Structure formats: structure tokens, C-alpha cells
Amino acid sequence: MNTLTRHTHATSDRGLPSSAGDLGAALIRSGLVPFALVDGGHIVAASPALREILGGTTPYHHIDGRRLAAIVAECDRAAVDAFCAGLMDGGARAELRCSLLHAAGTPIPVLLAGNVIATVASRQIVLLVTDLTAWVEDPLAAAAGPLAGAFDAATGFASRALLLDRTKIALAAARRHRRRAGILRVDLEHFEPLLQAVGAEAASEIEATVAETLRNCVRDSDTVARLGRKEFVLLLSEIIERDDAGVSAARVVAAIGSLFEHNALERRVCAHIGVAVYPTDGTRGERLLQAADAALRTAQGLDGGGFALADATSAELSAIETLEFRPEHSTGVADIDAEHRTLVARTNALVREIKAGVDARKLESEVRGIAELLRTHFANEAHFLGTSPYEGAIDLKTRNLRFLDELDCILLHVNAQSVLLAVRHLHDWLVPHLVSVDYKRVS
């Protein structure tokens, strides 16, 4: 019978993937093999079987693109980093026993088997994951207790206790390296009614989406914690300027507002944020949280969301000096020089009014006018640099657009402090901008 016929030809390629990429895609579709493809410390792809081990979709609904460290138990992250580095150095297959984090926050004992594969663009690591739970008696029972309470089950975010522990570490590093750190206390207005208005499955999906949105507003080195159903805290472990914390707050307000632009309630979910910065507003975690909480109460008076800065931060933001357009700032391009002089003059006028005690909210129209001038100025610079061989031209245009985006975020929900922060942000950007390009070299 044909069904019993044994073909005598050697094993062929018929039915097999034609490349390593095709093989990986086939494995992912199959859902049989728990594995992750890692590139530069980030998960490029994760199979459904791995997602199942980690507890399904929450909070790992959007696992692709996240750092590998995000799914590894904190106590094993250094070992996993060393394991991956060893794979990249030697390229040989190896194994490591460690723990991954379940969506509920509990550790999962696993065995990682790794190998390096070469693609056209880079070398990537394939990590095969074997769940050891069934083979381990009372798996990691000693660790499960504290870990289970260290993370929020719905989002995977840190609890208050873990947040304070990470804040202590972040502040110690900031103190040692003479850096700043920021605390953003986030309250989502109308969030609880929305969760109650939908089913349990939809509520879980909404929580996962909010978690991903907040996570995307910070860096991998930062911490997001959940203190209540609608209360979150973002720990910015290292920031360069005090303005950075305000810009991050503005970005979160904009992201949450965009996420809930349309929902099932008459009133939109929006974010109110209180911002505190180390060391100005406090040198200990609890003190920073208190300062951020006081600022949050101010922000909660803003319709449609917004942020407020702790008092100490606001006071320092007002202590800014006027600028001077000096001969060395001249570019030799008449139009560009004229625009730079106008920017300096109008920024100085704002600084003088702030020092004179003018209500910052009255300066909003002038700040927006300067923002429009900046759009024209950046377009003129881009046109001038468009055909330039200057190596930094593209970087300059990118920085300009990023700055304008940050300014727009700050002014999205206007109050006295957001205008004050916008002026400070403009001032601090303008100083290096005047000397950012050697136009004589570009010409």
C-alpha cells in the first residue's frame, strides 16, 4: 500500500524551513517550545509556550522588545547577564539553572539552554526554557513568600516595600556619583470607575495596557511601582537636570491622555502627577514620597490631568539667570543670528518677569509664541544644514525635534508650574544651542 511505502532517497529539505529565521517562526507558531530570541539584552521574540510558563498575557502581554532582565528574578539577573555574555564570547551551547518571574510575582525554577546564532545584521541568543517546577519539591519556598508580596499581580510592578528598597539603592548611587533622582507619584482619575464598568477580562487587559504605557515612559533602569488600584510611582534612578523629571511627568500625562482619548465613561481617564527630586526635595525615600504626594494634591486641582512640582523644586526653577548673545555666538548666517538674538531677548524677558513676581500663567501665550518661533527657526536650520557635509547635522536636527516635543508635552496641561518649567527648559536648552554648530565650518 502506498501508505506503507518507504522512500529510499535520503532525508530531503521538503517541508522544512528554508532558513534559521523560518525555523524560528515555525517554532513560535507551533506553541510547543518555550524559548526567547534575545538581541542586545532585549527579547526580540518569545514563543507562546514561554508566555504560558510566565502566566499568560498579564503583565507579559507585550513581552517582545522588553529587556530579558524584566522576566528574570532579581536575585538571578547578574547570573543571567553573565551567562548571556559568556555565550556571546564563546558561542558554545551552555546551561544555567535560575528563576524567572511569574506574572503573579512568584519565582519559577527553570533551566536555560543557550546558543548563539548569526543573522545578517547581528548575532543573537536563542534561550530554550525548561520549567523545573514539577521536578522541584516545594520550589523556592523560602523565596516565594517575600517575592509574592514584592510585586503587583496585575501589572508586575513593584510593591511599596520593594519601591522603598530600590529607592534607597538609587539614592545611594545618586549620592555617590553626584547625580539627581526623581519620584513621580501618579494618580489616574476615573480609572477605578472604568475598571468597574467593564468585565473582569477587559479590566485585566486595560490594566496590562496601562502598565505597558507607564513602562514605555521610563527607561529599563527605572522602577514603576503600584501603591493602589489607581496609584503608581515612577522612580527615575538617574536624571541629569531637574527639568528631566518634569518632562517625564509631562510625557506620562500626554501618554495616558492619548490612551484614554475614547473610553466607556463620559469622563476621560487622566493622570495627575506630583514630582519630587533628590536632593532638593528630600534625601530619603519616604521624604521624597511625601514631597511628591504634596505636589500631587496640587496637581489634582487641574482639570484633564497635569503635574505639579514640589515646592523646593519650584523655588529653584525660578532662580535662573538672563542670557547674553556674545560675539562668539555669531554664526555668520544673518537669518540664523537674527533668530538667535530674538530667542535670547524673548527668553530674557520671560526670566525678568518671573523674577519680578509675575504670575507664570500670564506668561503662557508668550511661551507658546516662542515655541512657534522655534518651529520656524528649526525649519530654517534644517534647510541650511540639509545639504551640509557637517557630521553633526542630523544629530542636531534630531535634538531640536526632541526638544520641541518635550516643550509641547510640558505645555499640554498648563498651570503656573508647567509654564515655569517650560521657561527653565527653554533657558537651559538655549545656552548650548547657541554654540552647537560651527556654521563657518558648515558653509
pLDDT average, residue stretch 190-196: 88
Nearest CA to 67 among 218, 169, 180?
Answer: 218
For residue 107, pLDDT over 50 is answered with yes
The full set of domain ranges for the chain reads 20-148, 160-309, 327-442
The CA-based dihedral angle spanning residues 157, 219, 194, 298, taken in that order and rounded to the nearest 10 degrees: 100
Residue 150: per-residue pLDDT: 63
Q: Is there a contact between 229 and 154 (Cβ–Cβ < 8 Å)?
A: no
Percentage of the chain beyond pLDDT 70 is 79
Spatial CA neighbour of 69 closest among 78, 56, 59, 57: 78
The answer to whether domain 160-309 and domain 327-442 are alike in fold is no
Lowest-confidence region among 6-10, 41-45, 249-253, 434-438: 6-10
Q: How confident is the model at residue 4 (pLDDT cuts 50, 70, 90)?
A: very low
Helix (H) or strand (E) holding 185: strand 180-189
pLDDT in tens, 40-69: 888 888 888 888 888 764 444 557 778 898
Q: Check whether 30 has a pLDDT greater than 60.
A: no
Question: Does residue 266 have a pLDDT over 80?
Answer: no
pLDDT at position 392: 56
Highest mean pLDDT of the ranges 53-62, 128-137, 405-414: 405-414
Classify domain 160-309 at the CATH class level: alpha beta
Contact 106, 148 (CB under 8 A): yes
Rounded to an integer, the average pLDDT of 385-394 is: 59
Q: Mean pLDDT throughout 288-292?
A: 92
**Residue partners of 150: CB distance under 8 A and separation at least 6:** 105, 158, 159, 161, 162
Per-residue pLDDT, 119: 67
Q: Looking at residues 64-78, what average pLDDT do you find?
A: 84
Q: pTM (2 decimals)?
A: 0.59
* Confidence at 120, pLDDT banded by 50, 70, 90: low
pLDDT at 314: 67
Q: Is the pLDDT of residue 336 over 60?
A: yes
Q: At residue 269, does pLDDT exceed 70?
A: yes
Q: Please give the class, per CATH, of domain 327-442.
A: mainly alpha
Domain 20-148 has CATH 2.60.40.10: no
Q: How confident is the model at residue 188 (pLDDT cuts 50, 70, 90)?
A: very high
Nearest to 260 by CA among 198, 185, 189: 189
* Range 88-102 average pLDDT: 75
The mean pLDDT of 217-233, rounded to a whole number, is: 88
